Amino acid sequence: MPQQAVIIGGGVMGRGIAQLFVQNGYTVCVVENQAQHAKQILKILENSWQKLVTRGKFTSNQVQQFLAQLTITSDLSVVKQADVVIEAVFEDLELKQHILAQVEHMASANTLIASNTSTFSITTLASALQNPQRLVGLHFFNPPPVMKLVEVVKGLQTDEAIIQQATQLAENLGKQPVLCQSFPGFIVNRICRPYYCESFKMLDEQAASIDSIDAALEGSGLFPMGVFRLVDLIGVETNFRNTQALFEAFFYDNRYKPSFIQAEYVNAKRLGQKVNQGLYHYQNNQAVRHSEFVPKSQTFSEEVQLQSTETAPFWIQNLQNIANQKGVALNRQQGESSCLKIGSVQMLATDGQLAESLLPWKQVPTIIMDWILSEKASVLAIQANPLVKDEMLEQVASFFDSLGIQLVVVHSPAMVVLRLMVMLINEALEAIQQGVCNEHDCNLALRLGMSFQFDLLTLAEQIGYPNVMQILKHLFQLFQDEKYRSSLRLRSKAI
C-alpha cells in the first residue's frame, strides 16, 4: 500500500483530498504555488480536525499526528518521492495538462498519476503526457472525507493495470469506486445535468417560483435538498461553469444548454450561500424561504373517490399506501382511466401535455397533479383550471393535509418531480447506451454522489418506460426542442 501522496492544488477539493489521505495513514504533501495560502490551508485543516475532536471522531493526539503527516510546499519536485500524485487544481485544461506533463517527467515510473477533474476528458488531459496510458481519473466528491463515491475514470489509452491500482487505492481510502469511461461529466455530473438545466428552464418559463420548485423536490421523498438550495451550496458560478463545460464538450447539444437566468445571478455576483445571497438570501447561514402552500379549509366534508385501471399506475399505488398509513379511507373503484375525485373536482396525473390542451380542462373543475413517486411524499405540485374555485381548492388541500401532503401551484407541463425524473432517466439511459457505465454503477453513483434516496433505474421501471417515453414525446411536441428526444435505449425498453 503506498504511503506518500502528493496533492497538487490547495483549494476546497485539494484540501479535502489531503485530509482524507492523512486520516488514512498517508504522509501527504500539498503543492500550492501561492505562498500566502500555505498557512491558510494548514489552519483550515487543523480547524476541521478540531471540530471532529469535539464530536468524538478523533483525539487531540491524533490531530497532532495528522498535522505531523502534512506539509505544504510550492515545489512540484516533491512528486519524485510520491507513490501517488493527484492533480486537483481548478478546471483549466491548459493548466492541468501543463502540470500533469511536469509530474510525468519528474515522478517515478511506478507512481500512480491521477486527475480529480470533474469535467475534462481524461483522454484529452493524457494527450499532454509522453505515456498517456499512465493517467487515470479519480473524481472525488465534496467533501472528500465524507462522500463515499469515487469515480474511477478510464481514458481511451489508460492501462488496465492502472485502473486496477486506482480502484484498489479508492477502496483503501474507504471509498466506493465506480468505473466509468472518459465521457464529459463522467457519471454523476453528466447524468444529473438535466436536474439543474430543466429546473432553470422552468424558471425561464416562469412556470414556478424557486421556492415552489424546491418545495416540490424536497417534499417528493426522493431528494434530500431542493435543486436551487443545492446550486447555492455548490456555488452558482461553479455549477454554471460546469454546465458550460458540458455544453461545449457535447458540441452544444441543447440537453446541456446553460440558463440565461443563472448567468444573470453569476453576473450579479449572487454566488450562493458562501456570500449570503444566491438564488436565496441567507441569514445566519440559513436560506430565507417563503411558504407558498395552498391554504386548506378548516373543515372537510367532500366525498373522495379513487378510480384506477386494472393495472394501477405507480402514483396510485403510492397514494393508496399513504392513505392506508394515515388511516384515511378511499373509495376505490376500477375504471377505464385513473383519477382522483374530491367532491366535484377531478384530479388527473400529468402525462406531459399542456394542461389547457386536455379535454376536461374547459368542461369540469380539473386539477393536473405531479406523480406521487414515494410513500414519503409530503408536497405535491398541482395546476388547477379556472373552474376550480378557491373554496374547492381549499377542500382539496384539506384532503391532502389529512395525508400529510401540502400543495404548491405550478404551471409546468409534466409538473416538477415527474418532469425532472423523466429527463434524468433518459440521460442515464443515454450514458449507459454510450458505454459510460453500467446500470448498477449508475444507480450506485447517483445514490452516493447526489444522495438520491432511490435507485433511478428501478424507479424508471416503476413509472414504466412507455410512460417515460410518452411524457418526453409530449414535451418535445410542446417545446419543439431536441433536448427531449428519447434515447435509443429508452425506446428499446419501452417496446
The CA-atom distances, in angstroms, between 197 and each of 142, 186, 200, 424 are: 21, 17, 5, 11
* Residue 159: CB atoms within 10 Å: 16
Active site includes 189? yes
Question: Which position among 32, 87, 104, 118 bears the catalytic label?
Answer: 118
Phi and psi at 441, nearest 5°, equal -70, -30
Active site includes 118? yes
Amino acid identity of residue 18, one-letter, is A
In 3D, which of 152, 130, 133 has the Cα closest to residue 86?
152
Instruction: Assess contact for 109 and 174: CB atoms under 8 A.
Output: no
Active site includes 486? no
In 3D, which of 425, 320, 328, 422 has the Cα closest to residue 375?
320
Amino acid identity of residue 273, one-letter, is Q
The CA-atom distances, in angstroms, between 405 and each of 199, 304, 420 are: 22, 16, 20
Phi and psi at 300, nearest 5°, equal -130, 125
| Cis amide bond preceding 2, omega within 30 | no
Give CA torsion, residues 136, 253, 440, 114, to 10 deg: 10
* Residue 244: CB atoms within 10 Å: 16
CA 391 remoteness from chain centre:
38
Q: What's the DSSP call for residue 281?
A: B
DSSP 314-343: HHHHHHHHHHHHHT---EEEE-SS-EEEET
Grid cell 487505492 is found at 169
Q: What's the N-to-C CA distance of the chain in angstroms?
A: 49
Active site includes 151? yes
In 3D, which of 425, 449, 450 has the Cα closest to residue 439?
425
Phi and psi at 121, nearest 5°, equal -65, 130
Instruction: Find the largest Cα–Cα distance for the chain.
Output: 78
DSSP 64-89: HHHHHHEEEES-GGGGGG-SEEEE--
Question: Which position among 87, 115, 139, 487 bears the catalytic label?
Answer: 139
Report the DSSP pairing between strands 345-349 and 4-8: unpaired
What radius of gyration do the chain's Cα atoms show? 25
Question: Which position among 32, 87, 104, 151 bears the catalytic label?
Answer: 151
Instruction: Assess contact for 187 and 179: CB atoms under 8 A.
Output: no
* Nearest-angstrom CA–CA distance, 495 and 493: 6
* Nearest-angstrom CA–CA distance, 216 and 391: 23
Q: Which residues are catalytic?
A: 118, 139, 151, 189
